[in-house]
Amino acid sequence: MPGILESFSRIGTNASSSALGGILYHVVCRRIDTVLIPLSKGRLSMGPPGRTVLITTTGARSGKPRKASLAFMWQGDQMVIIASKGGAPHHPGWYHNLKADPRVVVQYRGAIEDRVAREAAGEERDKLFKTMSTTFSNFSAYQARATNRKIPVMVLERVED
């Protein structure tokens, strides 16, 4: 079964690298995930198996909870997410929400946690983006399409009690 899931993940990553596939993923799959991830307690998602996180931010203007499903990777006990929006010309709404209020709730396979976001900069940003692009090839395609912006990398750190 893992072989089948990995094959679907590769197909999805390759498909989302195209402009049309990126829109399809952003509009359809991520919205399905906002229901699927909570129902399955993080075990199922439309994104890469075991590598998709559902984040809940506070709307920068509305103050209401906003959900987004995103590919992520671990960097020690930190989670790394990329504000690519499929290579769109503007940053995604969740990025602006985290800049206004860095507190975030994350739900992933078997866990729901409070975390605090910070934007990686300089060499750290470049290294994390490169590592993420190695794992998910579509991020390189997104950066190539996002000609007027450098795609931000966000690091979600554990909240200290």
Contacts of 119 (CB under 8 A, 6+ apart): 99, 125, 152, 153, 154, 155
- Is the pLDDT higher at 54 or at 142? 54
pLDDT at 11 over 60: no
Task: Report the alpha-carbon distance of residue 14 to residue 150 in Å, rounded.
Answer: 21
- pLDDT at position 22 is 57
- pLDDT at position 36 is 66
- pLDDT at position 18 is 56
Q: Does the pTM of the predicted model rise above 0.75?
A: yes
- Is the pLDDT higher at 73 or at 2? 73
Nearest to 146 by CA among 81, 88, 83: 88
The residues with which 103 forms a beta bridge, in sequence order, are 116
CATH number of 2-158: 2.30.110.10
DSSP one-letter code for 149: S
For the chain, give every domain's residue range.
Answer: 2-158
The residues with which 82 forms a beta bridge, in sequence order, are 153
Nearest to 56 by CA among 118, 91, 103, 109: 103
- Residues 96-136 have pLDDT tens digits of 999 999 999 999 887 899 999 999 999 999 999 999 999 88
